[in-house]
Structure 1
Amino acid sequence: MTQHSDNDVTGEGSHKLRRNLHNRHIQLIAIGGAIGTGLFMGSGKTISLAGPSIIFVYMLIGFMLFFVMRAMGEILLSNLNYKSFSDFAAELLGPWAGYFTGWTYWFCWVVTGIADIVAITSYLQFWLPDFSVWMSALLCIATFLILNIATVKLFGEMEFWFAIIKIVAIIALIIIGIVLVAVHYHAPGRPEAALSNIWTHGGLFPKGLSGFFAGFQIAVFAFVGIELVGTTAAETRNPQKVLPRAINAIPLRIIMFYVCSLLVIMAVTPWNEVVPSRSPFVEMFVLIGLPAAAGIINFVVLTSAASSANSGIFSTSRMLFGLAGQGVAHQRFAHLSKRAVPVNGLLFSCLCLLAGIALIYLIPNVMTVFTLVTTVSAILFMFVWSIILCSYLVYRKKHPELHAASVFRMPAGKLMSWVGLLFFAFVLVLLSLQPDTRQALMVTPIWFILLAIGWKMQQRKLS
C-alpha cells in the first residue's frame, strides 16, 4: 500500500492538489451527501406513493449504497495516488472506464446543479417575489464560483455549516414529533398523534408491492451525492483514518435522518393524509403553530440545495482535473492556481450551469424539467455506482495482495458487488414502469452515444 504523510499532495507537475480538508470537513461532507434535498421536498410524494413501506425503500437503497461506499473506500486506500473513483476505474477496467466514469460523473453534477439552481431561485422567490429569476440564478453561480476559487478549505467550511443546518432541522423535527406523539397531540380536524398511525391505516404495505416499487424513483435521487467523499480523497488529511470513519457512519446516519424522520412524520400525520405536493417538514412545524414555519423550512431547503450545488461545482472541477491527468480531457483542466485549485475546470462547469439554466426559458413548465433532470441524474449516478462495484471485482482479481493487506476490507466483497449490480438493474426496470421516468430512461442513452463518439475521436488522435 502506498503511504503518504498528512501534508502530501496529489497530482502532476509543480502544482498539486493539497490535503487541506480535515476530519470534521469530511464527516460533514459525508452527512451532507447522504441527506439530499429530496428528503425535505420529495418525502411527501414518496410517502403518498408507498405509505409506511417507504421506510424499507430508504433502508434498502441505503444498505446497498453502504457496500458501494465500502468498495470505493477499500480501493482508494489501497493506493493514495488515486484522486477519485475515475482514476481507479481507468487503471482497473481500462482507460475507457475512466473516460466514461469521469465525464458521466461530471455531467451528473452539472445536471443536478441545474436542478439545484432552479430550486434555489424558486426558494428565493419566497422572500424576494419581485426579484428576477435570471439574476438570482446568475448570483448563485457567481457566489459558488468565488467560494470554490478561493481555497479548498473554504469549500470545506461552507459544506460544514450547510450540513449543520440540515442536521439541526431534522433533529428538531424528530424531537417535536416525539413530543407530539408522547402527549397524544390532537389538532382540530386532524387525527390524534400516535405511534399506531404508522400501521393502522392499511398496514405497512397499504398499496401493495406496486406502491412499494413506485417509491424507488424519488428515493434513489435522495441519495445522490453519497459518493462525494470519493472525490475529496486527494485533498483529505490522514485519509486512512478519516475516510473509513466517514463511510462506516453511513448506515447509522441513514437510520437516524431518513428512517426516524419519516417514522415521526407518519406517526403525527397518518400517511394517507400527507399532502404529496407539500413538504411534510413544513407541515410538522405548522402543526405546532409556529408562525415562521414556512420561512424556517424554506431557509433549510435553500441551504440544502445550495450545499448540493456547491458540492457539485467542487466535484466537477476535480473530475476534469483527473480526466486531464489521464489524458482524456483538455490539458488546460490540469492547470492549478497558486492555491492549488483547478480554476479552469471550475469556470467550465459554471458556464455549463448557465447554459442549462437557459433551458428553463425554453421549457416553461419547471416541474417537467425538474422531474426529467432528476431522473436522468439518478440513472447516471447508478451507472457510476455500478462502475465502482465492477472496479472492485477486477481489483480483487488483479490485486489479491492489496486486499489481503487492507485494513478497510469490504464485507462479503465479491458477493455484495454482484448483489449491488443486480439491485441497480432492478431499479432501472422499475423506472421503465412509470411514464415520467420512462421518458428520462429513453433520453439517457443519448449521453452514452455522445461519449462513445468522443472516445472514438480520442482514440484516433492518439493513434
Structure 2
Amino acid sequence: MIETEKVEVNRDGTHRGLTNLAVQMIAFGGSIGTGLFLGAGSTIHRTGPSILLVYLIIGGFFFLMMRAIGEMMYADPDQHTFVAFIGKYVNRRLGKFAEWSYWLELILVANAELIALSTYVKFWFPHISAGLVQLGFWAVLTGINILMVSSFGRSETFLSGIKIIAILALIVVGVYLVAVHHQNPEGTHAAWGNLSDHFTMFPNGFHQFIMAFPMVFFAFQGMEFVGITTAETKNPKQVLPKAVNQIIFRILLFYIGSLIIIMAITPWRTLDPAQSPFVQIFNLAGLPAASQVVNVVVIAAAMSTLNSSIFSTGRHLYQLAKESNTKEMRPFTKVSKNGIPIVAVLFSAACMLFAPIISAFNTLSTAFTFIASVSSDIYILVCMLTMLAHYRYRKSADFQSDGFKMPEYRWSNPLTIGFFVAIFVSLFFSHESLFPAIGAIIWAVVFNLLLRRQADTDLRTENQ
C-alpha cells in the first residue's frame, strides 16, 4: 500500500502543504516576470550600462523589505498575508486600506496577465478568439488552485523552472558568443568591452536615468508573494529565512547577469527597444526559432504571475473575512476539506474574468490601463506601510530578539521607507505616470475617508 503524505493542518483548517523547493520557486517566480524577457530592452535603451546600477539599488531595497516581511512572518507564521501586519502594528484603518488595495491590485494584475496571454497565443494562432484563450488559461489555473495547496506549489515550480532554464540558456549562449568573439551583422563583435566602450553615466540625460527607477521597481513587483505562503508552508521557520536570503543572489544572477550578457554581446545602442532582447540575442546566436522559444517563456512567465495572483488574492480575501465581523464577509472564511479557502479563491478568480470583456472594447482597454497604473502606484504605498509596520513591530511586545531579524533596522528601515517615497515622488516628473500617481493619492484619501465614516457609524450604533 502506498503511504499518503502526512499534512500538517492549521487551526483554521488550511494545510501546510508547500515544500521548501516550492517556496523557493515561488519567491523566484514572483521576482522574475515578463518584464525581463520583453521589457529589458526599453530600460537598457534609457540608460545604457548604468541600468545595472538601477537594478542593483532597487534589488537591494527590495531585499531589505523582504527581510522586514520575513522577520514579521517568522514571528507569526500563522498569518495568511504580510499585509495583515499593517492593521496589527500601524492601525486598523490603514490595514484595511492596504489589504483591500493590494487585493484589488492583484486582481488587476491578473486581468492584465490574462489579456497578455491571449496576445502571446495569437502569435501562433492569429485568428483564435482572445476570450476563449483567456477562459482556458483561467479555468486551468483556477482548477489547480482549488485542488490542494501542494498542487499550486508544483505548478509554480514547473512554471518558474521554464524561466530559469531560459535565463541560464541566455547566459550560457552569451558567454560562448563573447568567448568566440562573435561578429554581429552590423560589424561589431561580442566582447566584455562593449559594457565600457564610450561609457557615459547618463547617455540620454539624468531625467531618463531617474525615470528608469520606477520602471525597474515595478519589474520587481511580485517578489513579496513569498510573504503570502508562510501559513501554508511546511516548517516555515526553516524555509522562510532560506527563501528570503537567497532573493538577493537571484537578483544578481538572473537580472544583473542577463543584462550584462545582453550588453556584452552587442553594443547597447544597437538593441531594438521595441523587441525582446532575448529574441535579439538568440537570433544573433543563430537560433532560428528564437521568437518561438521566447514566446513559450513569456507564456510561462504570465501563467506564473496569474497562478500566484489567484493564490494570493484568495488568501487576502480570506484574511479580510477572518478580520471582519460582518455577515456579508462570513462565507469567505469557508475552508474546503483540502485546506483551501475555497469561496475566497473562487470569488477572487471570478473577478479576473473581466479580461475577456476588456479585450472586446477599446475604450474599456484604455480605462483599464489607467486603473491598472493607479493600482500599481498604490503598491508603493503598501510597501511604505509594510516597512512602517515592521518598525512598529520592533517596538512591540511581539518582537523576538532571537528571530529572523532585519539587519540594522534602525537605519535600514527608515532608509527603505525614504527610498519608496522617492520612487513615488519620481512618478510626478513624467507625463506618462503623473495622472496615475495623482489617482493613487485620490484613491488613498477617499478610501480612508470612507473607512473613517464607516467606523464612526459603527461607533454611534454601538453607543445607541
Cα deviation code 1:310-348 (max 9, x no counterpart) = 100100000001111111771111111111111211222
User: 1:308 is paired with a residue of what secondary structure?
Assistant: helix
Matches within 5 A, 1:308-457: 308-327=305-324, 330-363=329-362, 372=370, 375-399=373-397, 402-406=399-403, 408-449=404-445, 451-452=447-448, 454-456=450-452
**In structure 1, what is the equivalent of residue 3 of structure 2?**
none
Residues in 2 aligned to 1:370 and 1:226: alpha-carbon distance in whole angstroms = 24
Residues in 2 aligned to 1:50 and 1:374: alpha-carbon distance in whole angstroms = 26
Q: Are residue 35 (structure 1) and residue 32 (structure 2) matched?
A: yes
Residues in 1 aligned to 2:8 and 2:399: alpha-carbon distance in whole angstroms = 21
Equivalent position amino acid for 2:394 in 1: R
Change in CA separation of 1:431 and 1:45 when aligned onto 2, cut-off 3 Å: same
Equivalent position amino acid for 1:78 in 2: A
Shift, 1:88, TM fit:
2.0
- The answer to whether the 8 Å contact 1:328/1:458 transfers is no
Change in CA separation of 1:204 and 1:11 when aligned onto 2, cut-off 3 Å: farther
Shift, 1:402, TM fit:
2.6
Q: Are residue 259 (structure 1) and residue 253 (structure 2) matched?
A: no
Q: What TM-score do the two structures reach when normalised by structure 2?
A: 0.92
- The answer to whether the 8 Å contact 2:105/2:372 transfers is no
Shift, 1:11, TM fit:
5.1
Cα deviation code 1:127-185 (max 9, x no counterpart) = 11110011111222122211111111111000000110000000100111111111110
Residues in 2 aligned to 1:373 and 1:259: alpha-carbon distance in whole angstroms = 31
- The answer to whether the 8 Å contact 2:332/2:341 transfers is yes
Q: Give aligned-pair identity as a percent.
A: 37
Q: Count the aligned residue pairs.
A: 452
Change in CA separation of 1:190 and 1:129 when aligned onto 2, cut-off 3 Å: farther
Residues in 1 aligned to 2:116 and 2:96: alpha-carbon distance in whole angstroms = 30
- The answer to whether the 8 Å contact 1:86/1:99 transfers is no
In structure 1, stretches of 5+ residues that fail to align are 1-5
Matches within 5 A, 1:171-186: 171-186=168-183
Residues in 2 aligned to 1:138 and 1:56: alpha-carbon distance in whole angstroms = 40
Q: Which segment is superposed worse, 175-184 or 207-216?
A: 207-216
- The answer to whether the 8 Å contact 1:217/1:375 transfers is no
Residues in 2 aligned to 1:222 and 1:435: alpha-carbon distance in whole angstroms = 20
Residues in 2 aligned to 1:71 and 1:245: alpha-carbon distance in whole angstroms = 14
User: 2:234 is paired with a residue of what secondary structure?
Assistant: coil
Residues in 1 aligned to 2:239 and 2:146: alpha-carbon distance in whole angstroms = 24
- The answer to whether the 8 Å contact 1:50/1:214 transfers is no
- The answer to whether the 8 Å contact 1:109/1:312 transfers is yes
Change in CA separation of 1:402 and 1:443 when aligned onto 2, cut-off 3 Å: closer
Residues in 2 aligned to 1:54 and 1:220: alpha-carbon distance in whole angstroms = 12
**In structure 1, what is the equivalent of residue 83 of structure 2?**
86
Residues in 2 aligned to 1:362 and 1:129: alpha-carbon distance in whole angstroms = 18
Matches within 5 A, 1:213-232: 213-232=210-229
Shift, 1:377, TM fit:
4.0
Change in CA separation of 1:226 and 1:326 when aligned onto 2, cut-off 3 Å: same
Residues in 2 aligned to 1:30 and 1:353: alpha-carbon distance in whole angstroms = 23
- The answer to whether the 8 Å contact 1:371/1:436 transfers is no
Equivalent position amino acid for 2:295 in 1: N
Change in CA separation of 1:166 and 1:373 when aligned onto 2, cut-off 3 Å: farther
- The answer to whether the 8 Å contact 1:198/1:204 transfers is no
Shift, 1:215, TM fit:
1.1
Shift, 1:94, TM fit:
2.3
- The answer to whether the 8 Å contact 2:24/2:243 transfers is yes
User: 1:172 is paired with a residue of what secondary structure?
Assistant: helix
RMSD of aligned alpha carbons:
2.0
Change in CA separation of 1:328 and 1:271 when aligned onto 2, cut-off 3 Å: farther
**In structure 2, what is the equivalent of residue 95 of structure 1?**
92
**In structure 2, what is the equivalent of residue 62 of structure 1?**
59
Shift, 1:286, TM fit:
0.9
Shift, 1:190, TM fit:
4.0
Residues in 2 aligned to 1:423 and 1:286: alpha-carbon distance in whole angstroms = 38
Shift, 1:378, TM fit:
3.2
